[in-house]
């Protein structure tokens, strides 16, 4: 998490002020419930809200107290007492620090998920818009980096749309994983606090009670959350790499938008580099990097150890801020992507008709050639074309053995581009629900 790759909306979730605000809300809601149960005076709970609801917490002061006590929640509570006065002693009754810390972390992670979901919607909207724009723009499909058969540029974006739709479903599930609250005391037994307090706080904070906690909310939930971010980052990288490929000098089927004043290279003024998608590639690596510590964090000792804490203080902001930045960058990149249909057509024509080889193969077998023979016939005519020696259509027409099975007209029929695109509508309907 560095300013360069940070959006303020996401960063603010992780700021100390936000954290203290959430801590306060958890404590104050808990006080309400405790008052309702008669454990503490109702007036005390009311005072807490009144005195601190609109307070700005003094982060420097809290840090100062923490330096002495070496305990963050106690430092906060001490500062809260400075704001609230004597009634502050009724706050945090029967609770343990982790009740506050873990519930707060989950509030932050669900808010982060909400932002990321909005980001995904931006990516999806951009992909959909451009996909329909280029629904029937022919381009070559490639496997192994080698020309295969025609697709459309719209289909390429539809692939990505389907992938990011899955990303969204996964993120909704991941959000649900961490949308839990625990106010269960030092070892999760509710010994000192009634489970109804937890129920009240959970509801007030938009969470559900953790069925069983052990001072901490179990970290398999967070592991699932960060793993999901890692999978989404990989999808970001996939699309970024697609764009980098399309922008290669020899391919040049699309380009990142290049603003006035932008300089591609300090040394080579002509260069227009896919720097945004390369950047997304690197950012994806970072988001993925946090998956492993998140998995390692699951293995806490007994009812809890605090080894997860330092890792989470770094990776929770880092992973969410970085993915947020990446998704928004990706949405803009797709939205403004320069697309070059003429170059796509040029590339499509490059292989002298070889992209139709499979159709010829199929036609031969349908006319009675064995699959093995058909393969050999096609391959012996394809190889010279591949070496730049001749045109596939002409060579086939001159091959006597091919002619035993197919007439000239029948051969030509296999070279129809439209043939490849006849199911684009079907596919669009499957992906977008419309075509």
Scan residues 335-354 and list those touching a second copy (CB under 8 A).
347, 350-351, 354
Clarify whether 265 is annotated catalytic.
yes
110 scored as a contact of a second copy (CB under 8 A): no
4 scored as a contact of a second copy (CB under 8 A): yes
358 scored as a contact of a second copy (CB under 8 A): yes
Q: Quick one: which of 132, 203, 309, 399 contacts a second copy (CB under 8 A)?
A: 309
Q: Least Å distance between CB 53 and a second copy? A: 21
Clarify whether 356 is annotated catalytic.
no
Q: What is the DSSP string of 345-386?
A: HHHHHTTTTGGGHHHHHHHHHHTT--HHHHHHHHHHHHHHHH
Token pair in block for residue 293:
């510590």
Nearer to a second copy, 52 or 186 (CB): 186
Q: For a second copy, what does the binding mask look like between residues 9 and 38, x meaning CB under 8 A?
A: ------------------------------
Nearer to a second copy, 134 or 288 (CB): 288
- Within 13 Å and on the Cβ side, how many CA atoms surround 299? 4
Q: Least Å distance between CB 383 and a second copy? A: 7
CA distance linking residue 211 with residue 184, whole number of Å: 10
DSSP state of 264: S
Show the DSSP H helices in 94-194 as ranges. Answer: 97-133, 153-178
Q: What is the DSSP string of 118-138?
A: HHHHHHHHHHHHHHHHTTT-E
Q: For a second copy, what does the binding mask look like between residues 403 and 422, x meaning CB under 8 A?
A: ----------------xxxx
Scan residues 128-187 and list those touching a second copy (CB under 8 A).
140-151, 155, 158-159, 162-163, 166-167, 170, 173, 177, 185-187
CA distance linking residue 284 with residue 408, whole number of Å: 51
120 scored as a contact of a second copy (CB under 8 A): no
Alpha carbon separation from 432 to 132, 164, 283 (Å, rounded): 10, 12, 28
Scan residues 217-246 and list those touching a second copy (CB under 8 A).
218, 220-221, 223-224, 227-228, 230-231, 233-235, 237-238, 241-242, 244-245
What phi and psi, each to the nearest 5 degrees, are found at residue 300? -85, 155
Q: Least Å distance between CB 21 and a second copy? A: 19
CA distance linking residue 328 with residue 126, whole number of Å: 11
The sign one gets for the Cα dihedral 301, 305, 309, 310 is negative
Q: Quick one: which of 64, 133, 212, 408 contacts a second copy (CB under 8 A)?
A: 212
Q: Quick one: which of 8, 54, 56, 211 contacts a second copy (CB under 8 A)?
A: 211
Q: Which residues are marked as active site?
A: 144, 265
């Amino acid at each position: 998490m560095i300013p360069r790759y940070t959006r303020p909306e996401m960063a603010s979730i992780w700021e100390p002020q936000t954290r203290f605000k959430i801590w306060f809300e958890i404590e104050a809601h808990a006080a309400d419930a405790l008052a309702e149960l008669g454990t503490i005076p109702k007036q005390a709970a009311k005072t807490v809200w009144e005195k601190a609801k609109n307070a700005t917490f003094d982060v420097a002061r809290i840090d100062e107290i923490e330096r002495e006590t070496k305990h963050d929640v106690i430092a906060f509570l001490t500062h809260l007492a400075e704001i609230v006065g004597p009634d502050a002693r009724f706050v945090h009754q029967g609770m343990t620090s982790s009740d506050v810390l873990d519930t707060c972390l989950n509030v932050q992670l669900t808010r982060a998920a909400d932002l990321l979901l909005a980001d995904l919607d931006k990516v999806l909207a951009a992909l959909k818009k451009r996909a329909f724009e280029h629904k029937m723009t022919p381009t070559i499909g490639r496997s192994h980096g080698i020309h295969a058969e025609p697709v459309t540029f719209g289909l390429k974006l539809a692939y990505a749309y389907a992938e990011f739709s899955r990303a969204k479903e996964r993120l909704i599930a991941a959000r649900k994983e961490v949308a839990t609250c625990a106010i269960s005391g030092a070892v999760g037994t509710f010994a000192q606090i009634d489970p109804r307090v937890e129920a009240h706080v959970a509801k007030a904070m938009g969470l559900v009670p953790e069925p069983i906690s052990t001072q901490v909310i179990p970290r398999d939930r967070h592991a699932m959350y960060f793993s999901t971010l890692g999978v989404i980052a990989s999808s970001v990288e996939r699309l970024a790499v697609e764009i980098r490929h399309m922008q290669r000098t020899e391919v040049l089927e699309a380009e990142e938008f290049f603003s006035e004043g932008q300089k591609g290279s300090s040394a080579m003024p002509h260069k227009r580099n896919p720097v945004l998608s390369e950047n997304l590639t690197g950012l994806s690596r970072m988001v993925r990097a946090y998956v492993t510590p998140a998995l390692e964090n699951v293995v806490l000792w007994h009812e809890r150890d605090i080894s997860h804490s330092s890792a989470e203080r770094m990776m929770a902001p880092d992973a969410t801020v970085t993915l947020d930045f990446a998704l928004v960058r990706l949405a803009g990149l797709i939205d403004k992507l320069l697309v070059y249909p003429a170059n796509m057509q040029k590339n499509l024509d490059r292989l002298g008709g070889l992209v139709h080889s499979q159709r010829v193969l199929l036609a031969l077998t349908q006319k009675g050639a064995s699959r093995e023979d058909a393969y050999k016939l096609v391959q012996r005519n394809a190889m010279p074309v591949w070496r730049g020696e001749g045109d596939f259509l002409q060579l086939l027409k001159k091959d006597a053995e091919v002619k035993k099975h197919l007439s000239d007209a029948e051969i030509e029929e296999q070279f129809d581009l439209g043939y490849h695109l006849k199911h684009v509508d079907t596919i669009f309907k499957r992906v977008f629900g419309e075509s």
